[in-house]
Amino acid sequence: MHRMMTGRFYIQTGINHIPGIQIATYIAQAKPGADLMNVSVNGTLVGPVNSWTFSNIIANHTISSSGRPTPGQVHAFFTLNTTWGAVPLTVEFTNQSLGNPSSFFWNFGDGRTSTDRDPIHTYTTPGIYSVTLKAMNDQTGGMATLNKAITVTSGEIPSPTPTPVPGEITASFEADRTVGSAPVQISYIDLSTGNPTSWLWDLGDGNVSVSQNLTHIYQVPGTYSVRLSVQNSLTSASIEKIGYITVK
């Protein structure tokens, strides 16, 4: 089945497919601060439905979803180019807040602040910092905040172990095996912390899933990278394991 997804900045999408059964369910869910506008199946608008089941996944299908910010509602969201490193650590913040916010206030956790939309900030002292973004719509009065953690060390370390910040989530997962001969069945277990409420798996072979834990069959030999994105009402996180699965 071929699929096409649009509006993914506002919509979280995925495909649920049980191996061996010729049925697949497309799932579209509006992200916080956004509305699901419409879903199109094979060129036909079917309305703002949250799921659509295909009974014949051997045939070619196209499906797309569209969304928009919820009018008057602000949702704070941002990404950053790194969450840990040695001093001096320069962090670039990319503001992706929804709801047409007109002003912003950043607190970098080290006593310094900014009102820029996409600030760049340098940490000069080791420590664990909670960064807070407040996004505001001055016309509607809407306001939302989001915080994420940054760990700054005095020198390079193999892997960071930041102290959790309230509301912060960390993406993590493991597989029951990482090497096998095609077709190989692999089970993934979500080990994320911080109480995520939604999951999006990219299994590296063109298949995705929104299940928390899943079992997947790789049919074709190759090396596959696996990515898990998680989120809750406050924040989001993701992890990608490059070349994680080897199918012989």
Range among 74-83, 126-135, 159-168, 229-238 rated most confident: 126-135
Please report, as a single letter, which amino acid is at residue 114.
S
Can you give the pLDDT at residue 103? Answer: 95
Q: Distance between CA atoms of 140 and 138, rounded to whole angstroms?
A: 6
Average pLDDT of the chain is 78
Q: pLDDT tens, 91-147?
A: 999 998 877 889 999 999 999 999 999 999 999 998 889 899 999 988 878 788 888
Please state the separation of Cα 36 from the chain's center in Å.
Answer: 17
Please state the separation of Cα 163 from the chain's center in Å.
Answer: 21
Can you give the pLDDT at residue 189? Answer: 85
Walk me through the domains of the chain, giving residue ranges and CATH numbers: 1-68 (no CATH), 78-153 (2.60.40.10), 169-248 (2.60.40.10)
Contact between residue 131 and residue 152 where contact means Cβ atoms under 8 Å apart:
no
Contact between residue 27 and residue 16 where contact means Cβ atoms under 8 Å apart:
yes
Contact between residue 3 and residue 13 where contact means Cβ atoms under 8 Å apart:
no
Edge-to-edge, what's the strand order for the sheet holding 63-69? Answer: 44-47, 34-41, 63-69
Taking residues 142-155, report their average pLDDT.
83
Q: Note the pTM of the prediction, 2 decimals.
A: 0.44
Contact between residue 159 and residue 85 where contact means Cβ atoms under 8 Å apart:
no
Taking alpha carbons only, the member of 47, 35, 39 closest to residue 10 is 35
Can you give the pLDDT at residue 198? Answer: 85
DSSP-assigned letters across all residues of 1-15: -------TTTEEEEE
Contacts of 212 (CB under 8 A, 6+ apart): 190, 199
